[in-house]
Amino acid sequence: MLFNGVRAAAIQGRGKITVLGGREEREQTMAVSLRESVQRVSDPRNLDASVEEVFRLMLGIECKRDAGPANAESESVTAVVGFGGMLSGACVFRSGARTALKIAAQMTGMEFETVDDTVKDGIGEICNMLAGGWKGKVPELAANCGLSVPAVITGRDYNLHVQAPEFQLHHIYRFDDQTFEVTIVCDGIQ
């Protein structure tokens, strides 16, 4: 699997090979480790900046972190993008159906009445951009962590659960009268 090769190369450390007197010698280089950067990786400001950038640049929407609870809707749309490599976990975007319809309309310039495949694709892409923006805030993470294809879940009365994460960031954001949640879950870090 591609991610395992990235992880193995980073952990083993690839040194420069030089030939001295007909003998190859490998100069040892320090392996990349996110363990020393965990404070930067888990900094909530990185998530806030990523959300604000994606929504402002891609949708023309100003949004900010909100202290209140997310708007309760009977149906929700959740997108999940996995992280693999030096960090394993996921970026989870969750909103009510009305918020998802509004985001998709802003992305496409079309109006939607139901959560169809276009809306699901749009929410999956938003989650993908948020995951990429977040991991890009820490150079060691950007270079040593890949993203999965987004998975989108719709429906009522479901929960996503991760057992014993190393860290978790969970924030609610607001634009106009709409709210959505973004969660970064790290279940393993090298």
Give the three-state DSSP class for 52. helix
Cα separation, 29 vs 16, in Å, equals: 8
The pLDDT value recorded for residue 150 is 98
Cα separation, 166 vs 38, in Å, equals: 10
pLDDT (tens digit per residue) in 8-53: 444 444 445 556 666 666 554 444 566 676 788 889 999 999 999 9
Cα separation, 14 vs 108, in Å, equals: 45
33-189 under CATH 3.40.50.150, yes or no:
no
Residue 60 token pair: 């023309």
The pLDDT value recorded for residue 25 is 60
Rounded to two decimals, the pTM is: 0.80
pLDDT (tens digit per residue) in 123-133: 999 999 999 99
Q: What Å distances lie between residue 166 and 37, 69, 150, CA to CA? A: 13, 24, 22
Mean pLDDT score, 117-124 = 98
What are φ and ψ of residue 79, in 5° steps?
Answer: -115, 140
Summarize the chain as % helix, strand, coil (round to 5).
35, 30, 30
| Residue 47 near residue 182, CB atoms below 8 Å | yes
